[in-house]
Amino acid sequence: MVFMCWLLVSTIVHAEGDANLGQEIFLEDCERCHYNDDFATQDAATTAEQLRALKAGDEDHRPDLAGLSLQEIADLAAFFAGE
Ligand code: HEC
């Protein structure tokens, strides 16, 4: 039961985005084209919104970001915002 609660809590916290995981994705998939401070002037919510639009294909972006999960988007947004 204690373990279940821990799982629940960590899932909720995690849903807000983990900047460390975001950095890993950034280094692997984004760094060849973007600087880590490319989106530092905007808050995480704005970056996440842009990424959801890119994922949905509303805006052109190469590479195609359709494969990003919503969790990965939250992680990336937290990373770019320097959280
Ligand atoms: C092959 C090069 C390339 C890669 C790799 C790349 N991008 Fe981009 N990205 C661009 C270009 C070019 C633009 C458009 C110019 C700009 O806004 O800087 C852009 C724009 C964006 C924007 C702004 C969209 C908007 O609404 O203005 C975001 C957010 C973004 N990229 C996130 C990412 C993330 C996250 C990754 C890694 C998962 C990534 N990009 C990987 C080239 C790339």
Instruction: Encode the chain (83 residues) as per-residue pLDDT tens digits.
Output: 666 555 555 554 446 899 999 999 999 999 999 999 999 999 999 999 999 999 999 989 999 999 999 999 999 999 999 98
Rounded to two decimals, the pTM is 0.85
In terms of residue numbers, what domain contains 48? Answer: 18-80
Q: Is the CB of 69 under 6 A from ligand 1?
A: no
| Position 1 in a domain | no
Please choose from 25, 30, 50, 75 the residue to mutate so as to test ligand 1's pocket, defined by most ligand atoms within 8 A of CB: 30
The reported pLDDT for the residue numbered 48 is 97
In a domain, 2, yes or no: no
Looking at the domain assignment, is residue 59 inside a domain? yes
Is any atom of ligand 1 closer than 6 Å to the C-beta of 78?
A: no
Q: If residue 67 lies in a helix (H) or strand (E), which one and from where to where?
A: none
Long-range contacts for 65-68 (Cβ within 8 Å, ≥24 apart)?
A: 68/25
Pocket test for ligand 1, best of 27, 31, 33 (most atoms within 8 A of CB): 33
Q: What is the pLDDT of residue 15?
A: 62
Give the chain's domain count. 1
Domain contains 6 = no
* Residue 9 within any structural domain of the chain: no
